[in-house]
Structure 1
């Protein structure tokens, strides 16, 4: 059965790939961007099955407007994909509080705002699927991306709580965690600052790696989009889904290291009980 989607951050990267895959599958979509003119080619190609909407995810009014646009244009809404976001690279010391707040506003509060905008409709229908696109940075903190990781860790915790609240009323929540994909996320979408000399071996090395890595990431955006389509067709989708061999490997290594550390310090941990 045809679905109606609302996808944020649709103008490029994974968001663009998601929108194109959804439309090719015969579904309908509200595609959003700060500048909807960037989506005009999709409207020209797919006609009435796509509606381009201006959206700043940090605006409660615009978030509600995007949800309303889906319902008014297509008679309903089945899937929300919270994909919009960005992540710069710089040392914590050289990142201003304003820069921290800006990244967290978009990457965390933007997700919360969009999610809250759609919950009443999904609750009333006792159906719907909310897909939160986080990152491997939602499982482990990468060097140089502290604001991004702080936001993505926040989305993970928020979404885990959300899933437990909405599950009993029939609404699904899935956290999608991509690794490196060949989009412009690590290119023109990202500001790279090596910072002061003391951080050359950590953040500086990350910046240099990122510049060389861009365009060589293992992930194929079209295959990520295919995985998304498969995910939303599942009667019982997972709470979390890693995307990419690099992401899976890093997550597995991190989980095993955490378990080993917890076991190492178990005696001290349990010594605090009455």
Structure 2
């Protein structure tokens, strides 16, 4: 059977590490990339435990560095095929829009959006020439429904949604499929070490401080209910193995319901639900 090759970004932890292992268990050779290979310990520990270390190769890749992207192109030229790309690298920027510096918005887009585009542009010539391949972009429930205090992250994921729609329509005539994973809340580092809250919104003299603490309290109380990220990793594998994947794959408890409700309800009803959850009745009927 012809060996298949998968490239995954952001494999040092979380979804990326688990996706690399699950694809390796399904006989893919996985090019597991991360910004620093010094952070490969967790991935290698998992690989050794599952006995799939021979199906993995670890490579340094900073999706925001043009030099690093050029090195990636050289690496891809050495492969017999590029069958799957999973654009997983990213982080969650947080804070209230008035207080988030433009540089922090730019940094969020550099990784989550432009990093995804840069890696995809490096891979597309290979997939187009071989007339096959699957690209899986990591979106989020935040790419379908905005949340107060998370505008940098939500904006980046909304951008991924629109870009992926266009890319799918561009590449389908060439036999290349584009899909998105849209996870809800899972137990990954993006909501702990991976979340970057702007400094001003954490200060007690911020006009948003109380609102920010209400949101943080809501997220902290919800954390015990976050699901196992292996669910997302297994879903990624199922997409990679499909001959004709669809565009969107919402994943997680209540995610499909939340998206459906947002689409069905009036905006006024939707915002009242969100604000009531976060801030009791303070904003309602103001």
**Secondary structure of the corresponding residue to residue 53 of structure 1:** strand
Q: Distance in 2 between matches of 1:52 and 1:209?
A: 37
Q: How far off is 1:94 after superposition?
A: 1.4
- 2:147 is equivalent to residue 142 of structure 1: yes
Q: How far off is 1:160 after superposition?
A: 0.3
Q: Distance in 2 between matches of 1:133 and 1:222?
A: 15
Per-residue CA deviation, residues 207-245 of structure 1 (Å, 9 max, x unaligned), is: 22223333x243221121111111111121111110112
Paired residue for 2:216? 207
Paired residue for 2:226? 218
Per-residue CA deviation, residues 74-124 of structure 1 (Å, 9 max, x unaligned), is: 532110000000012211111111111100111111111111111111111
Paired residue for 2:11? 10
Residues 41 and 257 (structure 1), Cα distance of their counterparts in 2 relative to 1, 3 Å cut? closer
Q: Distance in 2 between matches of 1:200 and 1:252?
A: 31
**Secondary structure of the corresponding residue to residue 76 of structure 1:** coil
Q: Flag structure 1 segments of 5+ consecutive residues without an equivalent.
A: 262-274
Q: Distance in 2 between matches of 1:213 and 1:224?
A: 19
- Retained in 1: the 8 A contact 2:94–2:196? yes
- The root-mean-square deviation of aligned C-alpha atoms, in Å, is 2.2
The count of aligned residue pairs is 259
Per-residue CA deviation, residues 150-196 of structure 1 (Å, 9 max, x unaligned), is: 11111111110010010011000001111101111111111344455
**Secondary structure of the corresponding residue to residue 143 of structure 1:** coil
- TM-score scaled by length of structure 2: 0.83
- Retained in 1: the 8 A contact 2:7–2:85? yes
- TM-score scaled by length of structure 1: 0.87
1:15-30 equivalence runs, <5 A: 15-30=16-31
Residues 235 and 138 (structure 1), Cα distance of their counterparts in 2 relative to 1, 3 Å cut? same
- Retained in 1: the 8 A contact 2:17–2:43? no
1:104-253 equivalence runs, <5 A: 104-192=109-197, 193-194=201-202, 197-200=206-209, 202-214=211-223, 216-253=224-261
1:33-112 equivalence runs, <5 A: 33-40=34-41, 42=43, 45=48, 46-72=52-78, 74-112=79-117
Q: Distance in 1 between matches of 2:268 and 2:247?
A: 24
Deviates more, 1:24-33 or 1:201-210: 201-210
